[in-house]
Amino acid sequence: MKITKICCIGAGYVGGPTMAVIAQKCPQIEVTVVDLNEERIAAWNDENIDNIPIYEPGLGKIVAEGRGRNLFFSTDVEKAIDEAQIIFISVNTPTKTYGKGKGMAADLKYIELCARQIASVAKDNKIVVEKSTLPVRTAEAIKSILDHTGNGVQFQILSNPEFLAEGTAVQDLLNPDRILIGGDPSEEGQKAIQALVGVYSNWVTADKILTTNVWSSELSKLTANAFLAQRISSINAMSELCEKTGADVNEVAKAIGMDSRIGPKFLKASVGFGGSCFQKDILNLVYIAKSYGLNEVADYWEQVIIMNDHQKRRFSNNIVQTLYNTVSDKKICFLGWAFKKDTNDTRESAAIYVADDLINEHAKIAVYDPKVSRKKVLADLDCLETRTVSANAASVVSFDDPYEACANAHAVAVLTEWDEFIQYDWQKIYDAMQKPAFVFDGRNILDGPTLEAIGFVYQGIGS
């Protein structure tokens, strides 16, 4: 099958960048990204490329190159579904906040709505691709909905999970470790797989394109995120032991990372992992294990989440204890609010929970992040529902200038590893702060001895 038109339902952190790269690498294919959120689509179509809704290094240039040529952003979902041969589903799959599986299972209502809309609109055969991270055997539910339309249209369901790291998403798309495509073992299923392989083959070599059955593909995504999060929680667990014993977690990480069986990646001790995937996917994995009666498996993976939550609480508790057991009416400057550098994504950011703890202790929080607005900071805190909207607004001030944010602060807490923080004039910051001036480096990116020579009381993670 020669693919000439692709549509993606969902213009978020996965759908937007993925489709932009496909459009760039496949100029012969018309790619349309659709979303019911009019504000988001308007931002993707904004003439000022700096205003697109997602910040990723290099993404703006790729969007500008393809937009209007073979890359389109639209709210006309039905038209895009009708015309496309391949339909990617890339909508949100949050953790359920109600009913059975509350707090663990993935909420698949948006996936089901997509499937029903595709079923009602499609007039000819379609390939439907799961791009969102989904529980194992979700494809079965999608196929059941699509196969009972009664209009004779044939659908093939593929699983094509994303393995993107926010902040490096463009490079991950341009030079992927692997492309994973799962499909049905039938002849028609294999044809559908090869059709999608043909799209990726425009820039990805054959040895990096892996094909499996649907269930293996779905589970591989959850497993990959669980393994990565496990490494972070493991080194963070050791960081606490390092602090008690006099070891340095950075030295320990370097030593074990040189073991070829372990490797150095994801061994950076920090205040904890965030983002939309790790916690959600592990909780989903826990729920699936429990649903099959695999309680020991569930307990094992749940401990990764427990350790991550503990690390965030430990960080905020340490700030309170170090500041003479009270932060009431003290100004604490947060450098960074995004969950990691080079992204404006704040989902499950450690900064949210550390701020929440400190506000409960009546601290005044000043925030500077180069890509996150005050509106977003307050929205993140409001979602926790631990206090009123007005109480959050009274406790948090956001700044456009880092030096203003730090002025008269009792302490600076580094919550995101933005490169620019390393380049600041820390003498200037010290001079403008209350004394003694504290730095709590939740990302271990600053030079502690240099800061101590200036006069700061410096505390990193795990040393």
Question: Binding site for substrate: what residues are annotated?
Answer: 162-166, 221-225, 261, 268-274, 339-340, 443
Q: Which two tokens stand for residue 53?
A: 């809704």
> Which residues line the annotated binding site for NAD(+)?
10-15, 35, 40, 91-95, 132-133, 166, 277-280, 347
C-alpha to C-alpha distance for 34 and 17, rounded to whole angstroms: 13
Is 8 labeled as catalytic in the residue annotation? no
Q: List residues forming the annotated binding site.
A: 10-15, 35, 40, 91-95, 132-133, 162-166, 221-225, 261, 268-274, 277-280, 339-340, 347, 443
Other CB atoms closer than 10 Å to residue 204's CB: what's the count?
18
**Catalytic position from the list 277, 333, 383, 406:** 277
Q: How far is CA 282 from CA 133, 245, 311, 416, in A?
A: 11, 31, 17, 22
- Please give the single-letter amino acid code of residue 419: D
- Give φ, ψ of 272 to 5 degrees: 130, 160
Neighbours of 372 (CB within 10 A): 24
Residue 54 to residue 18: CA distance in whole angstroms: 12
- Which one-letter amino acid corresponds to residue 438? F
Q: 290: Cβ–Cβ under 8 A, 6 or more apart, which residues? A: 104, 298
Instruction: End-to-end CA distance of the chain: give it in Å, rounded.
Output: 58
The DSSP secondary structure of 229-275, one letter per residue, reads: HHHHHHHHHHHHHHHHHT--HHHHHHHHHTSTTT-STT----S---S
Report residue 336 as tokens: 């960074």
Backbone angles phi, psi at 193, to 5 degrees: -60, -45
* Exposed / middle / buried, residue 27 (Cβ in 10 Å: 0-12, 13-18, 19+): middle
Q: Which of 206, 202, 159, 198 is nearest to 178 (CA)?
A: 206
Residue in this structure with the two tokens 């609010």, named with its chain if needed: 337
Residue 22 burial (10 A CB sphere; 0-12, 13-18, 19+): buried
Q: Which residues are catalytic?
A: 277
